[in-house]
A = this chain, B = another copy of it.
């Protein structure tokens, strides 16, 4: 099922989970490596990852013993579209809209780790 906005925003409301997303922006990671910088149990991180996966924010793929986590920004995109409707509803920036259309028509980029984010996402 497609993750709902409920699930997406709830997943984003926890600072640990946002930090995990920021880490995954750099590279795909195994569960143990995701958990390493946090001062909480591995089981807790595992739960957080399940929540992120249910929200469609990450994908998890098991290779051997190791489960790899990678960012999946489509859900974020949905939520962003919903939000930006409030900020720019009165005055639509036509230039920005045209730029959006271009990115819409462009081939969907595979969410690889080598994506140049340009600017690091703010932490908490």
Chain A contact residues, CB within 8 Å of chain B: 4-6, 9-10, 12-15, 18, 21-22, 25, 71, 73, 76-94, 96-101, 103-104, 117, 119-122, 124
The listed residue (B9, B12, B13, B88) touching A103 by CB distance below 8 A is B88
| Separation of A104 and B88 alpha carbons in the complex (Å) | 10
Q: B104 contacts A100, CB within 8 Å? A: no
Q: Could you tell me if B73 and A79 are in contact, using CB atoms closer than 8 angstroms?
A: no
Q: Which of B76, B81, B91 contacts A86 (CB 8 A)?
A: B76
| Protomer copies | 2
In the complex, A21 Cα to B89 Cα: how many Å? 13
- Nearest neighbor of A103 in chain B, beta-carbon distance: B88
CB distance from A102 to the nearest CB of B (A): 9
Chain B's nearest CB lies how many Å from the CB of A10? 4
CA distance A4 to B123 in the complex (A): 11
Please give, as numbers and ranges, the residues of chain B lying within 8 Å of A78 by CB-CB distance.
Answer: 100
Structural contact, B9 and A12, CB atoms closer than 8 A: yes
Cα A34 to Cα B29 with chains together (Å): 45
Indicate whether A77 sits within 8 Å of B104 (C-beta atoms), given known contacts A14-B6, A121-B82: no
Q: What are 16 pairs between A and B in contact, CB < 8 Å?
A: A5-B12, A12-B83, A13-B13, A21-B86, A22-B85, A76-B84, A80-B87, A81-B89, A84-B97, A85-B92, A85-B97, A85-B122, A89-B100, A92-B92, A93-B100, A93-B104
